[in-house]
Amino acid sequence: MAELLRVSSLQTHYTSFGGSRVIKAVDGVSFTLHEGETIGLVGESGCGKTTTCLSIVGLLPSAAHIVGGNIEFDGEELTKKRPREMRHIRGRRIAMILQDPMASLNPLFSIYLQVAEPAFYHQRVRGRSLRQRVRDLLQAVRIPSPEVRMREYPHQMSGGMRQRVVGAIAMAGGPKLIIADEPTTNLDVTIQAQYLEVLKDIQRESGVALIFVTHNLGIVAKMCDRMAVMYAGKIVEQGSVRDLFRSARHPYTQALLGSMPKLGSKEPLFAIPGQPPNLARLPSGCAFHPRCAYAMPRCIEEEPADRSVGAEWKARCWLTAQEPAKEAYAGATA
């Protein structure tokens, strides 16, 4: 499969208080995504996953700037684009699905208008073919009776339906990449399951690549081919989902896996001690060391480099410089 997106050493900083406080929200993030692939961007709040996505689509808030690195998408360098050019890319070639469907939908416009907009604006589809397009899109996201539904308004639909409409809008421009930022957090369990099925179907039918941002490893296990685990603005481990679930190399990944409750098991959960880091005052060396059970003196002094630990598998940990990490975290293995 061809390479679609290559993020290299991306750095995005937030400045506040007139420049006196710099938060390195994204600090040297690199990953690659191929056409049709799904990658899960995993991490807890404040790790930088949303900022990474906003950097890619050029929707950073005014306090944030990309200060380094490259984002190559479909042969073009996105960091060099002007806002007007980004506007043509957004919606047409890269689409976003956000967490709150009510915030993504305009309450004043009908479903038809909102789903039609990307096709209308980017692909210049008009009239009857536009209506057909909307119908097809709504069907692709499994909304029953699309003819009727397209005349409705967001408030007349349930949460799950709305999120599907958001998915239809995302597909309307015919994108090659969809970035989904916690799209199912507000949905009920059964609705979430249905929605994820829909996403999978869309992907299979259209071959669109997917970046799935989430803190829920279960979603990654279900939906993603590859995953990248973020902590304090850096990717600490990335590789195929299977490899990481089976034998993660970074202690943080292992800890995350160990802290997931498993259905039908009462084994005590592994709880990572301490608190998530304060990005304004990061620990020295490896940002995870205060909470790491394997911390060595080197971890406090030096930031670990990103090293390859297998086929398309990288981890940022000094442990990888030695033998493979022992399986000390309960539940890290299958």
Partner 1 sequence: MPAPLLELRDLQKYFPVKTGSLLRRKIGWVKAVDGVDLAIFAGETLGLIGESGCGKTTTSKLILLQEAPTAGTIRFDGEDVSTLRGTALMQYRREVQVVFQDPYSSLSPRMRVGDIIGEPLEIHTNLSRRALAERVAEVLELVGLQPDLARLFPHEFSGGQRQRIAIARALATNTRLIVLDEAVSALDVSIRAQIMNQLEELQQRLGVSYLFIGHDLATVAHISDRIAVMYLGQIVELADSLELCAKPLHPYTQALFTAALPAHPDERHQKLAITGEVPSALNPPSGCRFHPRCPHAMPRCAVETPVRKEAASQHIVACHLY
Partner 2 sequence: MVDILEPTRAPAAVVAPQEFASVGGRWIRLARELPLVPLAILVPFILIAVFANFVAPYDPTEPIPGAKIFEPPFWMPGGSTQTLLGTDFQSRDVLSRLIFGARVSLIVGVTGTIVAGSLGTALGILSGYLGGWVDQVIMRITDAWLALPALVFAIFLATVVGPSMWNIVIILGLVYWTRYTRVIRGEVLSLREREFVKLAEIAGGSRTRIILRHILPNVMNSAMVLASLTIGVVIIAEASLSFLGIGVPAPQPAWGSMLSDGRSMLMVGDWWLTVFPGVCILLVVLATQLLGDWLRIRLDPQLRNL
Q: Is beta strand 313-315 parallel, antiparallel or unpaired with respect to 307-310?
A: antiparallel
Segment contacting partner 2 by CB under 8 A, of 116-124, 200-208, 212-220, 270-278: 270-278
DSSP string, 75-115: TEEGGG--HHHHHHHBTTTEEEE-S-HHHHS-TTS-HHHHH
Residue closer to partner 2, measured from CB, 36 or 290? 290
For position 19 contacting partner 2 by CB under 8 A, the verdict is no
Give the dihedral of Cα atoms 256, 257, 262, 266; nearest 10 deg: -70
Residue closer to partner 2, measured from CB, 21 or 246? 21
Cα 12 to Cα 29: distance, rounded to the nearest angstrom? 9
Residue closer to partner 2, measured from CB, 244 or 279? 279
For position 260 contacting partner 1 by CB under 8 A, the verdict is yes
For position 56 contacting partner 1 by CB under 8 A, the verdict is no
Cα 241 to Cα 252: distance, rounded to the nearest angstrom? 15
Choose which of 1, 63, 193, 280 interacts with partner 2 (CB under 8 A).
280
Choose which of 21, 126, 151, 242 interacts with partner 1 (CB under 8 A).
242
Cβ neighbors of 62 (< 8 A, separation 6 or more) are none
For position 334 contacting partner 2 by CB under 8 A, the verdict is no
Choose which of 61, 107, 144, 268 interacts with partner 2 (CB under 8 A).
268
Report, in Å, the least distance between residue 274 CB and partner 1: 9
Alpha helices in the chain (DSSP H): 49-57, 83-89, 101-104, 111-123, 127-140, 146-149, 159-172, 189-206, 217-223, 241-247, 251-258, 297-301
For position 278 contacting partner 2 by CB under 8 A, the verdict is yes
Choose which of 2, 108, 148, 271 interacts with partner 1 (CB under 8 A).
271
Positions 174 through 203 that interact with partner 2 (CB under 8 A): none
Residues at the interface with partner 2 (CB under 8 A) = 268-271, 273-275, 278, 280-281, 290, 293, 330
